[in-house]
Every structure is written in structure tokens, then in C-alpha cells.
Amino acid sequence: MSSTTVNDNDEAFQSTFFQHIEQNTPLYISRLAEAVAIKSVSCDLQSYLPEINKMMDWTEAWITRLGGTSSLLPNPNATKEKPLPPILLGEFRASVDAERKKTLCVYGHLDVQPAEMDDGWLSDPFVLTERDEKLFGRGSTDDKGPALSWLWVVEAHQKLGVDLPMNIKLLYEGMEESGSEGMFEAIAQLSKPSEFLNDVDFFCISDNYWLGKNTPCLTYGLRGLAFFEVTVKCAEQDLHSGVLGGSVHEAMNDMVKLLSTLVESGTGKICIDGIMDDVRTVTKEEEDLYTDIDFDLEEFKHETRVKTVSDSLLKKDKMSLLMGRWRFPSLSIHGIVGADASKTCISAQCTGKFSIRLVPDQDPEKVKKVVTAHLEKEFAKLNSPNKMSVILSHGAKAWLSNPTHPNYEAGARATERVYGRRPDFTREGGSIPITSFIEDATQMNVLLLPVGASDDMAHSQNEKYNKSNLVNGIKVLGLYIHELSKVKGPKPSSCRCEPLTEEELMIPGAFMKGFRCKCEI
Amino acid sequence: MSSTTVNDNDEAFQSTFFQHIEQNTPLYISRLAEAVAIKSVSCDLQSYLPEINKMMDWTEAWITRLGGTSSLLPNPNATKEKPLPPILLGEFRASVDAERKKTLCVYGHLDVQPAEMDDGWLSDPFVLTERDEKLFGRGSTDDKGPALSWLWVVEAHQKLGVDLPMNIKLLYEGMEESGSEGMFEAIAQLSKPSEFLNDVDFFCISDNYWLGKNTPCLTYGLRGLAFFEVTVKCAEQDLHSGVLGGSVHEAMNDMVKLLSTLVESGTGKICIDGIMDDVRTVTKEEEDLYTDIDFDLEEFKHETRVKTVSDSLLKKDKMSLLMGRWRFPSLSIHGIVGADASKTCISAQCTGKFSIRLVPDQDPEKVKKVVTAHLEKEFAKLNSPNKMSVILSHGAKAWLSNPTHPNYEAGARATERVYGRRPDFTREGGSIPITSFIEDATQMNVLLLPVGASDDMAHSQNEKYNKSNLVNGIKVLGLYIHELSKVKGPKPSSCRCEPLTEEELMIPGAFMKGFRCKCEI
């Protein structure tokens, strides 16, 4: 496989395409505002499932309006007791030569994190609000803005009378912010012969962020996740802390002691025996990869907004800090549920929630073993008669791809045509478990093509999407399919040969090139 | 002052009074159900202030219906930005000889703790539900059931054509479960010459519980409270734990470490230097007070519902356990706010809430000093650049009265006439800061006359009020005013002499008898 250089046709298309996108920006913003107004919060389905369904319907109506075909796949994990949102499958086929053209599948999600004014938003999180060329709203950047951009790419081609250079499939879910419930089962099913994903040749996901505010990047690595819940129980019901304080063994007291043993303050070191066993040693070659990355520690302190509080980071130089975020595990304590701080009571039981971001080659199940052993050892030290239990509520391995794969090269060329510079090739600290799952299930390459900036504050207060990123994002995605369509050779999906054995993966370059089946070697 | 024995008149009244109460029990239950249905939750005024106001209006309407006078005193701490419920002042004067008769003021509260089905209630907390002779519902025992009983005492006298033996005043608030905001200022004001509380001779509060399920008691001591909020801040806004985990000093990590230093697991010992400095040494005489109290450790494990979980208490014998609840301080960690466990994020800041129950002679301000010093010392050990702050959000001294005061003797006689046995004289682990404040502001004696059982589960799931306690409670309160009316001598409130100096309080017996002004010596 190889790609061609930009030719006259490309340049003519680029010019009219860019003009179209710029002229229609107010329209894209008003449509994004409609989508943001739909409170598709997936962590509280009891309240918001109808909103997620509404968001799915809204998007499906757009696919139909643009001449695509679509269906809502019932969530495979839904039950009568626990209804779940469906999965949206959409398809736009090229008008000419669709059979011959390759197929790109875009994954995205239409659900969002919760948000309340009280959390510290400066404007209603569900009313898209423009300030200083930024569009503030929950889901603006994570992930409604990027996911919907694909619709506007298709629309632009239609309006400009340019046929799609590839067939485009959309795979949009509504549970991403809550562990993608049902999505893994759906992907496994959809990857089977003659199913929706079976003829997909490349995947693209725009659900992560640039490393900085100004420099675009492509992402070839993600950390995994092991999310733990540790519960301590002292009674069958909550007790009055005045009437009974001093007479019972309190669950919350054991809880804070257990959680206090996990991470060293000051250094961030995870204090769990065996947690580093499977973490690869840093090589000289790997260190070199970090040298040229555009990243500034002082700016980072401003962006994270720790500057005005502590003005201090866990690591003091660029490489150590980026490695702390990308290639070493980290542990965050998220909170304790079951302890209602507004009541002067002794909680009957409480559950501490924390997660560990995993790196290659950490396995969530093995991490579960060392975490459980640690908590059991620490709990035994407390001499508490209370009951403790630990569960791994979701786990996902880290993912590492290769920036020289043609899919990445196409993303890089498209980025360069929009921004006038090659993107940085970066890894990410976050987890998108779906990435490696798609790769494993389909054997096809996945490109992470972030279109939002590092300070977009996904999951946080005042999440935003820069107007410039919205515009340039649509441009990059539009050119990316043109660049990707230039990849020569048979459709990767038409090669149904066996995946490489472990031995074959040892052939120099085979794995690192991202090739997954024999005919690609 | 002394009291007379039961005479024929007493017995005739008692018989018809008891019969009336028993016949009207279904009516009392249906009225309590009406009150429980009003969601007067004071910890969330933004949602429930109208409900508290409704509960105030409902009660005031009853006072009017029963021929009393009333007014709603605007809450002295209310502002336009923070509206607060008013304080209900009611009065029932004797028809004959009101001027000569002494005046009892009853304090109670009409607000409740929050409650949700999801917390583990077996029936809707705001629908009074009878099961096994128990009335389940939020506020059934804390404090709507007891507070409203006074209305039925007055009604019974009217229906039976018996004049009230004393004038009765009601002082009912709507913020008790949230620190009695505004109530202290109101009492200070109301205690001034010619104000509402100025002619009150005795106070009675039914807002605590028996020590056990079967044996009535009068309570002569309460623990105080120092409620702390410790905050750690690491950034100006929440951060994504995937993207940034491993690069920033996380507030929640410091928080669990700080909270873990407060109490020793296994023993419940408070690990704060200086916290025990002002706690009195236990004397032999004091130990003797605990010998005869009706209390069973095994039954206590069942009631607290720790039996089926750990089957273990902090203390292994009756006296140590009761002292742990009553006469030694205890520390409970209630929860951590600001850390939303449902999101995989790094909280920008979080606040740990814990409280210490205080005993004589601990002073909340002095306790604040040692707690703050402890937290600062422990935070320094963490080598964290984050910012920590501590506040004492409310504090109240412990209260200790004397069971030989005539007010207590009247309560004991009334209890004996209903239950056929003298009540136990007990202390309580909980805090009712209003108790000592009323005593200090008015110089009049306060009787704590609990009418609910130990397993009523105030503040907890499935709060209930036994039907028998509802009935017997009204009987005890009714007979109590007859017993109290027999107290000879001038009205205590008519003695406006100076309170005892500290030296005079040293006169043997003066303070312990509960006498607060010179003419009582």
C-alpha cells in the first residue's frame, strides 16, 4: 500500500470544500446546539434514557435526510429490567463504483457525562454558548461535535456534487461514558461474515484530544483501565452518629484507611505490590520519541488550572510528565458512595471507587489480583470486624498501534493540508476500550484522529469546542477520506486469511507496522 | 419545691384521659400520616423550603383549631439570598387562673432528615405505613410524632372538659436537622423581658430516645458536637483521570490520607493530640450510676443491626459501651463531598466531613484548635503542594443536668403512672444543642423526656414510631403537666434575680441540683 501526492484535482476540491465549510459554519453551530440541548447523560439512565434515545433519533433523521441508510440495533445487553439505548448503524455509499471503493467506518458516541450549573459552569451546560470563539456545552467536544462532523462532510460532498471517494459507515453508541455497555457484544456480532462491520477496511475514531492547544496530532497509543469498587459494611442500616458513635466499628473509618494506602502523596507512586511487574522498561529509542513533541510544562499548568492552586506537577520535566500520562500506570481515587455527608450518620456501608490506568502489557485481571491482595492485606492490618469486598467493575487493556500504517499516513496528510504541518504522533493517558476491541474483532486498523484541543475539558466543568477546531475538524475529516481512498491494493477486509501467529508477529516490523493478517506482510 | 402524691382526682382524670387517648388513636395516626406526607427536609432548602413552610402552616392551623394563639416568627438569620423557615410560637392558656398557674414551654421540630426509597426503605418514607404495630415514615419519631402529641394532649383536655393545669407554650422550629439555623438568635431574643419565653417556668423536650426498646427513661446529659469540614484543593476545575492521571497531585488522595489519621480502626480511639485533655476522669460514684441501667449488649447488637454483619462492638461490657456512647467523645467520618464517584475524574477539590461528639468540659473552639493542628501536622507529612483548609461548621457544648430537679421528678412520676415503673435516668450520645442554649438563655430547667424507643432509627432508613409509644407518649405528656403543676412555690420565671456566680455554683449541690438563680438555693 502507498499513497499518492496531492494533485490538481485534490487542490480544486480542497478549495471549494474549505469555502463550503467556512460558509456553513453558523449552520453547523446551530445544529450542534440542537444536539447539546438533548441531555443524553448515560450514567443516569433512569432519568435520561429517553434523552439518549432522542439523540439517537435526531442523528438517524440526519442520516436519512442526507440519503444514507440506517438502523437502530437494539442493545444486546438490554433487558426488561434494565433498558439500554440502541446502537446507531448508518451508511453512506459512494454513487459511483461503490463496490470497488474501500469502506471507512467511523466510531463515535452520542451520550455525555453528567453536568450541573452547580458544578461550576459559567453557562447552562445544555445550552451551547459561544464566548471568545469557543462553543461551551456538555458534549460539544466529547463527542457530539466530532461525531456529527461526519454528517457535514457527507453533506458538503453532496452540495458540491462530488462523489464520496469511499463508502462511509457510522457506528454510534449511547453508553460510552458508562462503560460502553452492550457495545462490545454488538461489535463482536457485527464483525461476523456478512454483518455490518465485515466489509470495513479502516476505522477512524475522533474521541480524544490534541496534546496541546495548537498542534494537531494523531494518537497511536492509549492507556487501559481497571475500575475498582471496594465496599466496607458495618451494619445492616445507617446509624445515628450521636446516639451510637463510640460504640460501633464504623465502615467509613475503615474505608478512608484502605484508600489511603493506594498512592503516595507527593509522588503519585502506586503503593500496590506487583502493580509494576508487567510494565515495560523504557528504552533509549522510546525516549527519543518524546524529544520533539510540542509540549510546554508551564502552559500545561495553566491549562490544567493547577497553576494558581499549587503551581506544581508530579513530574518536573517534559519526558517524565508525558510518560506519567501515557506510558506508566496511574491511580485516581474518584469518590466514596453510600456515605451521605449531609447527614450526621454512621453509614452502614460505603463503596470507594478508584481506577488504575493500564499500560502495555498490563492485564486487568492480573491487576485485579494484586489490587485485591493489597486491599485484603491492608484491611487485615486494621483489626476491623467489618466486612470488605472488592470488585473490578470494568477493565480494558491498553492499546498500542503504529504511526506508519497507511491509515495513519492518510490522517497525517489530511492534517498537513489543513494545518500546514505534520501532526505530532502521540499517545494518550485516557482509555477508549472500544479501540482495541474493534481492532481485535475486525483485524482492521484503527486511527485515532483527535479534532479537539487539550483544553476542551471533556468530563469537566465548562467543556468547550473551539470554533476553529469545529471548522478545521470537518476539513481534516473530509480530506482524510480522499487521502485514504488513494491507498492502493486489495481491500484489507477482503483478505480473510488468518491473523498472524505470535511467532509471525515476531517477524521484524510485522506487529509494529500494524499488520494483522498474513497477506499484509 | 416538692410534689404531692397521686390523689383521687388524679385517678379519675387519669382513667378518662387514658380512655380518650386509646379511643382516638386511629385519629392521631391519620393526623401523623398527614404530617409525614409533608416533605419538610431542611438540608435541601432549595427543594424543600415550601414543604417546611407548609408543615409550619399545618401545625399552626391545628393550634388555631384548638383555641390557642400563635404566630410565625420570621427566622432571624433569613436573608433575601437565603430564605429560611419561620419559627412557630404557640400558646394554650388555662381557662381558670391562668395568671397564677405556671407555664411550661415545649420545644420541638417539624423538619426532618432526607430520605429516599433507594436508601433501603421498605415503604415510601413519606407515606406513614403501619406494619406490626409500628408506624414507618420519615419524621414519625424524629420529631413530628412527639411534637404533635402536645396538640392531642390539649385536645383531650378540652374534649374531657378538664382545664389545663398549666399554661402551655410551643416553640417549634424547622431547621433542627440542619444546625437549627436562626433558632439560637431567636431564643436569645425571645428570652428578653416581656418576650415569649420570659414567663416560662419549665421546659420540656421530647427529641431523643429511650436507651432500650421497653424501658422508659429521662435524660439528664447530652454530648455536644463539633462538626468539621476539611477541604483539599488541587486545581481550579475537575480533570480527566485518564488524560491527566499520573501528572497532577490529586486532592482526593490527600483527603483520604488526612481522614485516615483521625480514628484508630478496631478501637475507635481518636488519634488527635490533646482531644482528651478536658475530659473528666471517671469516678467510682459515676461508675455506680451505670450498674442498674436496663441495657443488654446482645440486644443492642440486634437493634443496631451489626449482629448479622460483624457481631462485634467497640466495647465488650455494658458500662464501657454506655460510657463510649455518653461520656467519652467519639469521632465519625460522614463522607466526602465534591468527589463525584460516578465520573472517572480527578476532583479539583473535595471536602471531608466529620464530627466529634463532645462531653463536659470540652469546648468546641478548643477542640477546633487541636483538630486543626492535627490536620495541619498530618498534611505537612504528605509533602503535597495542594491547599488544605479546615472549618468548624457548627459546634455545641455538651449538656449535663440533674435528675433530682422537680421538673425531672414530675416527668418520673408521670412515667411511673403510665408504665408502672420509675424511668431509668440516662445520658445520651447525641447532641441537642438547643437544650443548653435554652437553659443558658432563660435560666429555667429543661427536662428531656423521650417518648420513642431506641430502635426507632431516627436519621436512618425505615424510621418508625411504635403505636404503643405514640399512645403512651401522649399519656405521659398529659400526666406530666398535672404532676408538674403540683410543684409548690413561686414561679421560677418570676425570680429575676441574678444567675449564680461561678463561686456560688461551687456551693455543694447548687449546680448539680440544676438551680440557676440565687432564690432557688
DSSP labels for A201-233? -EEEE--SB-SSSS--EEEEEE-EEEEEEEEEE
pLDDT band at B9 (very low <50, low <70, confident <90, very high): confident
What are the grid coordinates assigned to A351, written together? 463503596
Backbone dihedral angles phi then psi of residue A473, each to the nearest 5 degrees: -60, -45
Q: How confident is the model at residue B288 (pLDDT cuts 50, 70, 90)?
A: confident
> Which cell numbers in the block locate residue B80?
433575601
Answer yes or no: do A459 and B344 touch at CB < 8 A.
yes
Residue A269 touches chain B, beta carbons under 8 Å: no
Alpha carbons A427 and A429: distance in angstroms, whole number = 7
Alpha helices in B69-217, H assignment, sequence order: 145-160, 183-190
Contact, A400 vs A360, CB < 8 A? yes
Dihedral sign, Cα of residue A210, residue A212, residue A213, residue A218: negative
Rounded distance, CA B292 to CA B288, Å?
Answer: 8
Closest partner CB to A254 (pick from B244, B265, B328)? B265
Mark yes or no for CB contact B266/A249 under 8 Å.
yes
Which pLDDT does position A394 carry in this prediction?
A: 86
Bigger pLDDT: B288 vs A219: A219
Q: Could you tell me which of A256, A236, A326, A62 has the C-alpha nearest to residue B264?
A: A256
**pLDDT value of position A1:** 36
Set A51, A60, A111, A254: catalytic member: A111
Q: How far apart are CA B57 and CA A388, in angstroms?
A: 47
Q: Write out chain A residues lying below 8 Å of B259, CB-based.
A: 256, 260
Beta strands in A297-382 (DSSP E): 330-337, 345-346, 349-358
pLDDT attached to residue B124: 97
CB within 8 Å: A334 and B428: no
- A-facing residues of B in 129-168 (CB < 8 A) are none
Instruction: At A389, list the grid cell.
Output: 469486598
The residue ranges of every structural domain in chain B are 8-222+398-486, 224-279+328-396
Residue B446 bridge partners (DSSP):
B203
Q: From B381, which residue of chain A is nearest by alpha-carbon distance?
A: A265
So what's the pLDDT on residue A7?
63
Q: Give the residue among A167, A156, A165, A171 at the shortest CA–CA distance from A60.
A: A171
Contact between B172 and B90 under an 8 Å Cβ cutoff? The reply is yes
Secondary structure class of A486 (helix, strand, coil): coil
- Our answer to whether residue B317 is catalytic in this structure is no
CB B161 within 8 A of CB B48: no
Please measure the distance between the N-terminal and C-terminal CA atoms of chain A and give it in whole angstroms: 11
pLDDT tens readout for residues B394-413: 888 899 887 789 999 999 99
pLDDT of amino acid A508:
46
A95/A98 Cα distance (integer angstroms): 6
Q: What does the pLDDT average to over B163-184?
A: 96
> Residue A335 is nearest to which of B313, B336, B382, comparing CB atoms?
B336
Residues in chain A with CB shorter than 8 Å from the CB of B458 are 240, 243
Catalytic residue, candidates A176, A455, A456, A463: A176
Angle (nearest 5°) at CA A283 between A280 and A286: 100
Q: Residue B153 corresponds to which cell in the numbers above?
A: 394532649
Nearest one of B224, B219, B221 to B450, comparing CA atoms: B219
Give me the pLDDT at residue B501, please: 57
Amino acid occupying residue A23: Q
Give the residue-averaged pLDDT of B235-247: 92
Residue B303: predicted pLDDT: 86
pLDDT recorded at residue B110: 98
Measure the CA–CA gap between A188 and B193, rounded to whole angstroms: 81
Please give the pLDDT value at position A500.
Answer: 55
Question: What are the start-end ranges of the E strands in A111-175?
Answer: 129-131, 134-136, 167-173
According to the model, what pLDDT value does residue A497 have?
55
Q: Taking 60 as the threshold, does the pLDDT of residue B513 lie above it?
A: no
pLDDT for B4:
42
Distance from CA of A205 to the nearest CA of B (A): 17
The CA distance from A495 to A485, in Å, is: 17
Q: Does B348 touch chain A (CB under 8 A)?
A: yes
Q: For residue range B402-449, list pLDDT tens digits in order.
A: 778 999 999 999 999 999 999 998 998 887 889 989 998 998 999 999
Helix/strand/coil for A28: helix
Model confidence over B41-65: pLDDT tens digits? 999 999 999 999 999 999 999 999 9
CA dist., res. B316 & res. B319, Å (int): 9
How many Å separate Cα B199 from the centre of its chain?
24
pLDDT at B28 over 90: yes
| Chain B nearest CA to A494, separation (Å) | 36
Return the number of CB contacts < 8 Å for A and B.
Answer: 323
Nearest residue, CB atoms, A306 vs list B248, B341, B355: B248
Whether A242 and B458 lie within 8 Å, measured CB to CB: no
**pLDDT value for B512:** 42
Give the B window 372-391 contacts with A, CB below 8 Å.
382-387
SS3 label, residue A107: strand
What are the grid coordinates assigned to A168, written together? 462511509
Average pLDDT taken over every residue of chain B: 91
Task: State whether residue A298 sits within 8 Å of chain B by CB.
Answer: no
Tell me if residue A176 is catalytic.
yes
Residue A2, pLDDT score: 37
- Which residues are B410's β-sheet partners? none
Residues 6+ apart with CB under 8 A from B243: A209, A325, A428, A429, A430, A458
Verify whether the Cβ–Cβ distance B249 to A268 is below 8 Å.
Answer: yes
With 70 as the cut, is the pLDDT of residue B514 above it? no
In this prediction, residue B509 carries a pLDDT of 43
Alpha helical stretches, state H, A335-466:
364-381, 406-419, 434-442
Residue B482 has pLDDT above 90, yes or no: yes
Asked whether the whole model's pTM tops 0.80, one would answer no
Residues with Cβ < 8 Å from B45, sequence gap 6 or more?
B52, B82, B83, B84, B85, B178
Output the nine-digit C-alpha cell for B283. Answer: 469516678
Describe chain A by its helix, strand, coil percentages, rounded to 5.
35, 20, 40
Task: Compare CB distances from A325 to B246, B262, B458 and report the shortest one's residue.
Answer: B246
Say if B213 is an interface residue toward chain A (CB within 8 Å): no
- According to DSSP, the β-strands at A345-346 and A239-240 are antiparallel
List of residues 6+ apart from A166 with CB closer than 8 A: A94, A101, A102, A103, A104, A481, A484, A485
CB under 8 Å to A252, separation ≥6 — which residues? A232, A336, A339, A346, A347, A350, B332, B333, B334, B335
**CB proximity B424 to A under 8 Å:** no
Q: Could A234 and B306 be called an inter-chain contact, meaning their C-beta atoms sit closer than 8 Å?
A: yes
Put simply, whether B304 touches A (Cβ < 8 Å) is yes
Band (pLDDT 50/70/90 cuts) for residue B7 is low
Question: Could you report the average pLDDT of every consecutive run of 10 residues in chain A (521 residues)?
Answer: 55 95 98 98 95 98 98 97 97 96 97 94 97 98 98 98 97 94 96 94 94 92 94 94 94 98 96 97 86 89 94 96 95 92 88 95 96 98 97 90 89 97 89 87 94 91 97 98 91 66 51 48 44
- Count the neighbouring beta carbons within 10 Å of the beta carbon of residue A194: 6
pLDDT at B163 over 80: yes
The CATH number that domain A8-222+398-486 falls under is 3.40.630.10
Question: With an 8 Å Cβ cutoff, are B344 and A334 in contact?
Answer: yes
Active-site hit among B176, B201, B409, B455: B176
A224-279+328-396 belongs to CATH 3.40.1160.10? no
The grid coordinates of residue A505 equal 508477529
Task: Identify which of A224, A244, A417, A481 has the alpha carbon closest to the alpha carbon of residue A327.
Answer: A224
Contact B257 A253 (CB under 8 A): no
Which pLDDT score, from 0 to 100, does residue A498 have? 53
Chain B residue nearest residue A254, CA to CA: B265
Pick the catalytic residue from B111, B143, B201, B520. Answer: B111
Of B260, B312, B321, the CB nearest to A385: B312
DSSP string, B269-334: -B--TTTTTTPPPPPHHHHHHTTT----HHHHHHHHT-TTTT---S-SSHHHHHHHHHTS-EEEEE
Can you give the pLDDT at residue A179? Answer: 86
Distance (Å, whole) CA A427 – CA A220: 6
Assigned C-alpha cell, B310: 460483624
The model's pLDDT over B323-350, given as tens digits with 9 standing for 90+, comes to 999 999 999 999 999 887 777 899 999 9
Q: Is the dihedral of CA B400, B404, B406, B409 positive or negative?
A: positive
Q: Tell me the percentage of chain B whose pLDDT exceeds 70.
A: 93
| CA nearest neighbour of B217 among B292, B107, B314 | B292
pLDDT exceeds 60 at position B510: no
Of B233, B245, B314, the CB nearest to A429: B245
